[in-house]
Amino acid sequence: MASTEEIIGRRDVNDVEQILMISNTDINASIHAVKDNAEAIFTWDYEKGARPALNKLYEKAKNSQWNGETDLDWSINVDQEAVVVANQAANNRGQGLDVSGTIFEKWGEKEWTELGIQSQNWTLSQFMHGEQGALLCTAKIVETVPWIDAKYYASTQVMDEARHVEVFAKYLNEKLSGHYPVNAHLKMLLDDIVMDSRWDMTYLGMQIMVEGLALAAFGFMHQMTTEPLLKQLLRYVMSDEARHVAFGVLTLKEYYQELTQAEIRERQEFAFEAAVRMRDRFLQQEVWDRMGVPVKEAVTVVMQDPAQQLFQQMLFAKIVPNCKKLGLLDAGDAWLRTKFTELGVIDFEHMPDTEEEYETFALAEGEVAAAR
């Protein structure tokens, strides 16, 4: 069993100094190579539908493809500054945050608006990078998973993820005002997932943790944004993401039955590591850097913001119930339950898990055509 320090590289999960020590140093490189240690698996068992729930998901996916180029109204003009101001007004920016005596004390409308713009550029950039991570991971799953129904389904997800990378990149290029390189914490996590030799770890890292968080974050943003193009884009992406998370839950639920207690413990530790990396990334250290604000001070203030704390917890609304469904929360000595309690996210355990939820997120018949 590994200690917290061995798993995440620091003893205290909230140690800001240690969190900020990790930063992306090769921001000018145009490619990044990661060793993929897994074997590509052929199966000679072609019986389609041997796993009915995966087969159903696959059939559903075939009929749920949309076209990022033609099904979204890219002619919509986005005035980013106006959108940021409208979003901040609609969502009561900064309420409950006391900035007296901090670096934000002298900030006026101009600075807060600029922060909103940079945060949006950063957030959408990280989503784009995360989507590419999903693209690579699902291509890897096509190779590594031994079940034919899972290979079929994963292949549809590869197409979904290509579309997601495409639409986030296009939105960033055409409607926003700048890109950010991949956040170091996110990059570390994506590297770990791609490098792991065990096929089910790709699912746990990507489908359960990264995509579980994305589904919650997209839902939040979909609700908050006043910009119609982004709203529509997120609506479509979420309908796919809900299937992707279901794919993870369905597959791992079966596979974990075969694992020993020691193997399950390794999965618990990986889930915890992923949770911490994703929490760290939302401190958006690169934004403060670009705005010329002392990073540590800014992060420390933001960590005290009740709205930010609520947001960070909400990101785990899908992850915790799905880990529970998989038996990861309470296996062994309930180690992961203890860790999620320390992170302040255990209360989500009673929320609905995502095994069936994709049905509610699904695009209605004719919905895409009507929006066209």
- Which positions touch Fe ion (CB under 5 A)? 131, 134, 161, 164, 211, 241, 244
Taking the least distance from each CB to Fe ion, the nearer of 208 and 295 is 208
Find the shortest distance in angstroms from Cβ 323 to Fe ion: 18
Find the shortest distance in angstroms from Cβ 190 to Fe ion: 13
Find the shortest distance in angstroms from Cβ 74 to Fe ion: 19
Report the distance separating Cα 82 and Cα 343, nearest Å.
35
Taking the least distance from each CB to Fe ion, the nearer of 250 and 343 is 250
Find the shortest distance in angstroms from Cβ 341 to Fe ion: 28
- DSSP, collapsed to helix, strand or coil, labels residue 241 as helix
* Contacts of range 223-227, beta carbons closer than 8 Å, 24 or more positions apart: 224/87, 224/90, 224/91, 225/83, 225/87, 226/83, 226/86, 226/87, 226/90, 227/78, 227/83, 227/87
Taking the least distance from each CB to Fe ion, the nearer of 165 and 301 is 165
Find the shortest distance in angstroms from Cβ 241 to Fe ion: 5
Report the distance separating Cα 221 and Cα 87, nearest Å.
10
Residue 256 burial by Cβ neighbours in a 10 Å radius (0-12, 13-18, 19+): middle
Taking the least distance from each CB to Fe ion, the nearer of 68 and 321 is 68
Report the distance separating Cα 212 and Cα 222, nearest Å.
15
Return the amino acid letter for 305.
Answer: D
What string of DSSP letters covers 314-335?
HTTTTHHHHHHHTTTTTSTTTH
Taking the least distance from each CB to Fe ion, the nearer of 312 and 354 is 354
Taking the least distance from each CB to Fe ion, the nearer of 288 and 361 is 361
Token pair 């999620």: residue: 340
Taking the least distance from each CB to Fe ion, the nearer of 120 and 207 is 207
DSSP state of 348: G
Taking the least distance from each CB to Fe ion, the nearer of 159 and 371 is 159
Find the shortest distance in angstroms from Cβ 18 to Fe ion: 30
Is-contact 121 177, C-beta < 8 A? yes
Find the shortest distance in angstroms from Cβ 326 to Fe ion: 18
Find the shortest distance in angstroms from Cβ 216 to Fe ion: 13
Cβ-based neighbours of 161, under 8 Å, separated by 6 or more? 131, 132, 134, 135, 138
Is-contact 165 128, C-beta < 8 A? yes
